[in-house]
Structure 1
Amino acid sequence: MSELQRRLVHASGGLVPLGYLAGLVPWAAVAGLFVVSAVVATVLETLRLGVGLDWAIYDRLTREYEQDNPAGYALYTYSMSAVALVFAPPVAASGMLMLAVGDPISGLLGSADVGEIKGVTTLVAMFGVCLALAVGTFVAEGFDPSTTVVAAGLAGAAGATVADGVKPVVAGYVVDDNLSIPPVACGAMWVVLWLLR
């Protein structure tokens, strides 16, 4: 049950960029909400790791390798905040949805131990979902589904899939995909859009 709870909490973050795409909230509110969330997460993680705050919810929503490292929910808010502040809304919203929607779907289809690569079927599914999310986001933002949009979507989906596919360990720290998916995907899309425009 805890795995399903984690996935549902993960996916709930997608409601924020979807609210923007539906015209319900301005982009400044999206960015502001994630920045405030990142500040709150920093305080909670400081209390958890530094003071020893041990709420029961941490047992259900954190993984074993997160017990002595920043938890995935904090990394999630950091990466969402970063892309919201750095990239234009169509690019940032695409990357956000790749993390909020693509990653939980990928996780339900298959997982891999730290340092290992996910299975091919899982990676193909992640790529397909992320490509659809990117192209759909650009179209919702008023872009024609042109070669440029598809190329940007392909680049973003590839970046998100690579970031999702393996959790490398650097200096004893697990590079969680909650931290890596949005910036890698958005960076790849930005490069393609810059090159093709």
Structure 2
Amino acid sequence: MADELKRRLVHASGAGLVALYLLADSLGLGLTWERFQLLMVVLALGVIGLEFLRLRVGLEWWIYEKLTREYEQDQFAGYGYYMVSMTIAVLLFPAEIALPAMLMLAVGDPISGAVSDNSLKRIKGAKVLVTMFVVSVLLATPFLYEYPLAVLAAAVGATIADGVKLRVGDFIVDDNLTIPIYAGGLAYLALVFLPA
């Protein structure tokens, strides 16, 4: 239980990347969207490098034992998918879409996990789905308030990614990979194809 709480707190710490971008001007950091994209690429490559060292070279830091789950011991870990998906969102979408999509992963996912019964159902229970949807709407609204259909679309994307297990052959796709991509993708489509 203590390790699970630590994982949720580390998960939520990703919101700090969004805060860094939003506060960059007032802090005089000169962090433009292009520089933020570059920072995210560097972070994602760093995580991929760490996972390579862990899986291929055998690097075992104590933090891996605390923050990775049992089934991740011999495969690419969830934190890697987390950084890769956030980076993909930042590269594919404008800030007003990418930032809430990142928050849906960083904040929404651990909140929905806290109300989950941790069963291995293909579709999570109604309480988890509703929680993820409501949290996602609240996270997207400050960024997309002029486009309520995009807010709803982003929340639907995050809820589907979080609540429905996607299986490709024997591989279950980690929701750390899908939440920002689904949320950002549906928000983008809503902005392009639906009336404001």
Query: TM-score, length-normalised on structure 2?
Result: 0.89
* 1:176 aligned partner: 174
Question: 1:58 and 1:173 mapped to 2: Cα distance?
Answer: 22
* 1:14 aligned partner: 15
Distance 1:111 1:49, change over 3 A: farther
* 1:129 aligned partner: 135
Q: Tell me, yes or no, if the aligned pair for 1:153 and 1:189 is still in contact at 8 Å.
A: yes
- Correspondence 1:78 to 2:84: yes
**Worse overlay, 26-35 or 125-134:** 26-35
Superposition RMSD in Å: 1.6
Deviation, structure 1 residue 27:
2.1
Query: TM-score, length-normalised on structure 1?
Result: 0.89
- Correspondence 1:4 to 2:5: yes
Question: 2:9 and 2:181 mapped to 1: Cα distance?
Answer: 22
For 2:179, give the aligned amino acid.
Answer: I
For 2:168, give the aligned amino acid.
Answer: V
**Worse overlay, 170-179 or 122-131:** 170-179
- Correspondence 1:193 to 2:194: no
Question: 1:119 and 1:196 mapped to 2: Cα distance?
Answer: 30
Question: 1:32 and 1:70 mapped to 2: Cα distance?
Answer: 23
Per-residue displacement from partner, 1:78-127 (whole Å, max 9, x unpaired)? 00111111111101111111111111111111154445322211110110
Structure 1: 4+ residue segments shifted above 4 A: none
Aligned length: 189
Identity of aligned residues (%): 48
Pairing of 1:29-68 with structure 2 (within 5 A): 29-68=35-74
- 1:162 aligned residue (160, 163, 169): 160
Gaps of 5+ in 2: 26-30
* 1:91 aligned partner: 97
**Worse overlay, 129-138 or 29-38:** 29-38
Q: Tell me, yes or no, if the aligned pair for 1:155 and 1:192 is still in contact at 8 Å.
A: yes
Matched position secondary structure for 1:174: strand
Deviation, structure 1 residue 195:
0.7
Gaps of 5+ in 1: 139-144
**Worse overlay, 20-29 or 6-15:** 20-29
Question: 1:124 and 1:115 mapped to 2: Cα distance?
Answer: 16
Q: Tell me, yes or no, if the aligned pair for 1:112 and 1:166 is still in contact at 8 Å.
A: no
